[in-house]
Amino acid sequence: MHKDMEKVLITQEEIQEAAKRLAAQIERDYAGEDSIVFVGLLKGSVQFMADLLKNIDMMCTIDFICVSSYGKGTKSTGRVNIIKDLSEPIDEKNVIIVEDIIDSGNTLNFIKKYFSAKNAKSVRICTLLNKPERREIEIDVDYVGFDVSDEFVVGYGLDYKEYYRNLPYIGVLKPEIYE
């Protein structure tokens, strides 16, 4: 795995610091609220979700949803397919979506609307990485670990062809791997 990396972009230590910072922000913002549910987007959010949750010192529940966007290659079309839905109702709940990376914004735009239609009390987004240059749909991102430039990254949950999700850092793949 490691030999396929051109460079390490973000270390595990930096990610864990970001998780602490975001958790503290979330705790402040949700003080006095109840019915808080963290919803992780499978599969990319798993590593970050675990770090974030360990630092959340308040009553909450967790759930997961798995979606895939239709479309070939690296561009998503905005049409999203639910592969695994939530396991509990979210009506009147304060939902915090946990995502690995926001790219075009299409996936999160769909999910935010879907959750609002299910009568969530509030829906906010917490993402490890954000690629603002690639945005196709304007979307409010409430909690961001790191802004990254427009290069393909893997690790810490993020994959290339389903591999590299288990890397303990965010890395940039060597171009020859995906060319």
Contacting residues toward ligand IMP, per CB under 6 A = 44, 69, 76, 99-107, 152-154, 158
Candidate list 34, 103, 147, 159, residue with the active-site label: 103
Whether 150 is a known active-site residue: answer no
Q: Which residue type, as a one-letter code, is found at position 13?
A: E
Among ligand IMP, Mg ion, none, partner that 104 touches (CB below 5 to 8 angstroms by kind): ligand IMP
Among Mg ion, ligand IMP, none, partner that 105 touches (CB below 5 to 8 angstroms by kind): ligand IMP
145 binds Mg ion (CB under 5 A): no
Closest approach of Mg ion to the CB of residue 81, in Å: 13
Task: Give the start-end residues of each E strand in the chain.
Answer: 5-10, 36-42, 61-69, 80-84, 94-102, 122-130, 143-147, 153-154, 170-173
Give 30 or 160: the residue with its C-beta nearer to ligand IMP. Answer: 160
44 binds Mg ion (CB under 5 A): yes
Closest approach of ligand IMP to the CB of residue 102, in Å: 5
* Total residues in contact with Mg ion, by rule CB under 5 A: 1
For residues 50 and 62, give the distance between their C-alpha atoms in angstroms, rounded to a whole number: 11
40 binds Mg ion (CB under 5 A): no
Report the candidate in 33, 52, 36, 49 with the shortest Cα–Cα distance to residue 123.
36
Give 70 or 89: the residue with its C-beta nearer to ligand IMP. Answer: 70
What's 61's DSSP letter? E
What's 102's DSSP letter? E
Reduce the DSSP state of residue 158 to 3 states and report it.
strand
**β-strand 170-173 against 153-154: which pairing, if any?**
antiparallel
Could you give the residue ranges of the DSSP H alpha helices within 30-153? 46-54, 106-117
- What is the x/- site pattern for Mg ion, positions 83-122, by CB under 5 A? ----------------------------------------
Catalytic residues: 103
- Judged by the rule CB under 5 A, the positions of this chain that interact with Mg ion are 44
